[in-house]
Amino acid sequence: MSRVPLAIPNIGEREATLMNEAISSGFVSSVGHFVSDFEKRFAEYVGAKYAVACASGTAALHIAMRLADIQPGDLVAVSDFTFMASSNAASYQFAELLLVDSDPESWCMDVPKLRAELERRKAAGEKLPKAIEIVHILGQPADAAAAVELAREYGIVVIEDAAEALGAVWTSGPLAGRHVGTVGDMGAFSFNGNKIMTTGGGGMFTTNDEELARRAKHLSTQARQPDRGYLHDEIGFNYRLTNIAAALGVAQLERLDGFVAAKRAIAKRYNEAFAGTEIQTPPQLDGQESTYWLYSVQVPASRGAGARDELQDFLAEANIESRSLWRPLHMQPPLKDEARVGGSVGEDLFARGLSLPCSTDLTPVDQQRVIDRVLEWLAGSGE
């Protein structure tokens, strides 16, 4: 039986053509027209005023933390249930964290829980966050409208970690027609190899604020001034994307609508197959459209504590790759002493969460193999 991978990049002729063009131009590094083309087209795609290409999604987030003026000891509120890159960006600034549990419906930050904690802290005269970092996990939009409203009341910044959710949108409500990563003060996307589109490695910083965009570009290029000598007016980073990677990005962006449609079609087939079973399918909330970047289910609690690993092993025996969801940040050794808000939603998502194969070129035949195997396990033959 051939292997069904979890999620592999989809790279074709067009990508090779544009990358060869970048190589032949001699501009292989961070100067060259593909970088600015990519930024311009990306900004248009998501509907942000400005986009600044970065070496990674983590780099884009780190720049956002710098621009939010996060200093050592400042507090950053961040989703507890996420990939660790989300909080690493704050930790690079020596921030303290306030880890906020997930809402069981969206799996993303429980903003009302954060609101209650801010009210408590304010009344008690305790430290308040300087930034709220929401994370649109697995392609699922977080409640950005509520986060922005809360942040405005407290005069703090909203950073959107949209690394996993490029293409996800709101379809009704206050954010109707908007893309994730464009409604907070700053947003960050990732083009790592396993994301919905890739540049090999790379990221994008987005904002609607001209000054933040100018400063992001400046910080990403060693804060070097356009001066005949080497004049740097602050401590910057080497966080620029290369022209070769940007050429790959331009080609992938042309195909992004197709990738998003493929992910949604895969999700629909899984959802239909698992309807009426004990498998819990991913969030599908009114007024928003997930991209289902990594299609992830919750195995039934009734099957006991080891059920997630059992299903993963059962799939692996049939040469099907799957992956557990992340351990919440408060369970990560370097973050064990950080402040927390909320209960055990993230822990439960971790304990029972499994991502299933969902490459954009997954064939219906291979997907059916995955479905059949999951149903077989559910029926009890996985014991």
The total of other beta-carbon atoms located within 10 Å of residue 85's CB is 20
CA dist 346 and 12 (Å) reads 37
Question: CA angle, 81 as apex, 48 and 260 as ends, to 5°?
Answer: 45
- What minimum distance in Å lies between the beta carbon of 86 and ligand PLP? 5
- What minimum distance in Å lies between the beta carbon of 84 and ligand PLP? 8
Both ends of the chain: CA-CA distance in Å?
22
- What minimum distance in Å lies between the beta carbon of 61 and ligand PLP? 6
Q: Are 135 and 108 in contact (CB under 8 A)?
A: yes
Residue 87 or 281 with smaller CB distance to ligand PLP = 87
Q: Which of 155, 112, 111, 113 is nearest to 133 (CA)?
A: 111
Q: What x-and-dash track marks residues 18-57 binding ligand PLP by CB under 6 A?
A: --------------------------------------xx
The total of other beta-carbon atoms located within 10 Å of residue 226's CB is 5
- What minimum distance in Å lies between the beta carbon of 190 and ligand PLP? 3
- Please identify which residue in 46, 67, 85, 315 interacts with ligand PLP, judged by CB under 6 A: 85
Side chain identity, residue 48: A
Positions 334 through 373 that interact with ligand PLP (CB under 6 A): none
Q: Is 203 in the site for ligand PLP (CB under 6 A)?
A: yes
Q: What x-and-dash track marks residues 154-173 binding ligand PLP by CB under 6 A?
A: -------x-xx---------
Q: Is 80 in the site for ligand PLP (CB under 6 A)?
A: no
The total of other beta-carbon atoms located within 10 Å of residue 177's CB is 9
The Cβ-side half-sphere exposure at 210, using a 13 Å CA radius, reads 0
Side chain identity, residue 263: K
Positions 123 through 142 that interact with ligand PLP (CB under 6 A): 135
The residues carrying an active-site annotation are: 195
Q: What x-and-dash track marks residues 293-332 binding ligand PLP by CB under 6 A?
A: ----------------------------------------
Q: Is 220 in the site for ligand PLP (CB under 6 A)?
A: no
- What minimum distance in Å lies between the beta carbon of 192 and ligand PLP? 4
Residue position matching structure tokens 């710098």? 66
Side chain identity, residue 292: Y
CA dist 4 and 311 (Å) reads 15
Q: Is 86 in the site for ligand PLP (CB under 6 A)?
A: yes
Q: Closest residue to ligand PLP, Cβ-based?
A: 57
CA dist 69 and 107 (Å) reads 28
Contact residues for ligand PLP (CB under 6 A)? Answer: 56-58, 82-83, 85-86, 135, 161, 163-164, 190, 192, 203
